C-alpha cells in the first residue's frame, strides 16, 4: 500500500498536455520523445522500487514528473511565481530543469511530498547520501530502456538490479567522463556525489 494519494493517470495526461500543447509540429515531435523517455523512466523506477522496497506509487509519481520543468523557461516561471534558484545552480543550464521541477511539481501538479520533490530535484546531478527514492529516480533517468544502447548501459542496468550504490557510482563516473570529454562544466553536486558513492 502506498501512503500517498495522487492520481497517476490524471497527472500523466496533464504532463502530456503540458509537454505537447501550443508547439510547432517539430517541437511537438521532440516533446513526444521526451514524454516517451518519461514513461521509460516510470517503468524502470517502478521495477527498482519493487526490488529495493520503496513505495512504488511514490517512485512512479517522482519518475513521471522528474522532467516536468523540461519545457519551462526559468525567467518566466521565476518572475510569475516569485521563486529564485541558487545562483550556483543557474550556472549549469542542463541542471536547471531539475531544481525548477520542484516548484513546477508543486504549483502545477499539486505535489507536496518532500521525498518526491527531492527525487525530482537531484535527478540530473545526484548528490551525496541520497535516499533510496532519489537514487532510483537518478538511475532510472540514466538507464531507462529508451536510452541509446551505449555499451556502458548494459553494465549500468545490470548493476542497478544488484546494488543501487554501485550502480549510482557507475553512472556518476560515466557522466563525469562525458562532461569532461566535451569540456563542459561539471556541477559540484555531481562531483560531491561521486566522491561519496565511489567509496561505497
Contacts with Fe ion by CB under 5 A lie at: 67, 141
Closest separation between CB of residue 11 and Fe ion, Å?
Answer: 16
- Name the residue nearer to Fe ion (CB basis): 98 or 169: 98
Enumerate residues 6+ apart whose C-beta is below 8 A from 82: none
**Minimum distance between the CB of residue 129 and Fe ion, rounded to whole angstroms?**
21
> Could you tell me the smallest distance in angstroms from the CB atom of residue 40 to Fe ion?
9
- The DSSP line for 103-154 is HHHHHHH----HHHHHHHHTTTT--SS--HHHHHHHHHHHH-TTS---HHHH
In the bound state with Fe ion, the residue whose beta carbon lies nearer, of 58 and 66, is 66
What span, in angstroms and rounded, lies between the C-alpha atoms of 12 and 140? 17
The C-alpha atoms of residue 27 and residue 149 are separated, in whole angstroms, by 24
Residue 108 or 141: the one with the smaller Cβ distance to Fe ion is: 141
Taking the C-alpha atoms of residue 195 and residue 188, their distance in angstroms, rounded to an integer, is 11
Q: How far is the CB of 95 from Fe ion (least distance, A)?
A: 9
Closest to Fe ion by CB, 98 vs 194, is 98
Amino acid at each position: 500500500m502506498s501512503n500517498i494519494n495522487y492520481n497517476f493517470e490524471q497527472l500523466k495526461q496533464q504532463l502530456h498536455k503540458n509537454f505537447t500543447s501550443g508547439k510547432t509540429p517539430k517541437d511537438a515531435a521532440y516533446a513526444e520523445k521526451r514524454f516517451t523517455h518519461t514513461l521509460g523512466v516510470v517503468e524502470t523506477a517502478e521495477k527498482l522500487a519493487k526490488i529495493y522496497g520503496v513505495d512504488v506509487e511514490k517512485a512512479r509519481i517522482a519518475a513521471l514528473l522528474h522532467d516536468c520543468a523540461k519545457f519551462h523557461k526559468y525567467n518566466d516561471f521565476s518572475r510569475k511565481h516569485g521563486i529564485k534558484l541558487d545562483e550556483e545552480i543557474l550556472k549549469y543550464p542542463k541542471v536547471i530543469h531539475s531544481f525548477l521541477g520542484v516548484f513546477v511539481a508543486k504549483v502545477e501538479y499539486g505535489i507536496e511530498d518532500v521525498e518526491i520533490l527531492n527525487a525530482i530535484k537531484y535527478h540530473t546531478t545526484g548528490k551525496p547520501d541520497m535516499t533510496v527514492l532519489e537514487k532510483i529516480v537518478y538511475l532510472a533517468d540514466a538507464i531507462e530502456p529508451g536510452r541509446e544502447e551505449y555499451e556502458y548501459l548494459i553494465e549500468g542496468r545490470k548493476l542497478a538490479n544488484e546494488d543501487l550504490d554501485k550502480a549510482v557510482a557507475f553512472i556518476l563516473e560515466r557522466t563525469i567522463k562525458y562532461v569532461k570529454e566535451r569540456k563542459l562544466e561539471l556541477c559540484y553536486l555531481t562531483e560531491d556525489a561521486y566522491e561519496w558513492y565511489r567509496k561505497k
